[in-house]
Amino acid sequence: MEKNEFTTIRKKLAKTQKELSELLGTSLKAVSSYEQGWRNIPVHVERQLLFLLAQKNNTGKHVCWDIRECSEEVKQSCPAWEFNAGHLCWFINGTICNNDVKKNWEEKIAVCRKCPVFKAQMNF
């Protein structure tokens, strides 16, 4: 995640840097440093920030198995289906996107950022 995306999401959440630091469980200085580009945004902070935005934007209309037209076989083996979290498929490790389970967060989120489910949740 780049600094400008971090700042944009904070503003979409209508949070000050201080309020966001409290939500993320980090310091105000860290949030300021992420926005200035002085510090890299850790994976756990990126995931939590995206989760908060997805929850705020959740309308219940954007579930991955409908948008991606998953077969019953794929649904039955996918954790997003198991936990009824079709709007959070991008957040859950082990989901089956493009008929493949990704090895790590970086690989997964790169695919998710191109996906209509993710884009709909993030309003990008």
Is 70 found in the same domain as 30?
Answer: no
Identify the domain containing residue 89 by its residue range: 64-122
Is 76 found in the same domain as 42?
Answer: no
SS3 state of residue 44: helix
* Per-residue pLDDT in tens (0 to 9) along the chain, 124 residues: 999 999 999 999 999 999 999 999 999 999 999 999 999 999 999 999 999 998 887 777 778 888 888 889 888 888 888 888 888 888 888 888 777 788 888 888 898 889 888 888 787 6
Q: How many domains does the chain have?
A: 2
CB contact at 8 A, 62 and 117: yes
Is 71 found in the same domain as 49?
Answer: no
Is 50 found in the same domain as 74?
Answer: no
Is 49 found in the same domain as 11?
Answer: yes
pLDDT of amino acid 60: 72
Q: What is the Cα–Cα distance from 27 to 14, expressed in whole angstroms?
A: 18
pLDDT of amino acid 124: 61
15, amino acid identity:
K
Is 68 found in the same domain as 46?
Answer: no
CB contact at 8 A, 10 and 22: no
Report field, pTM of the whole predicted structure over 0.95: no
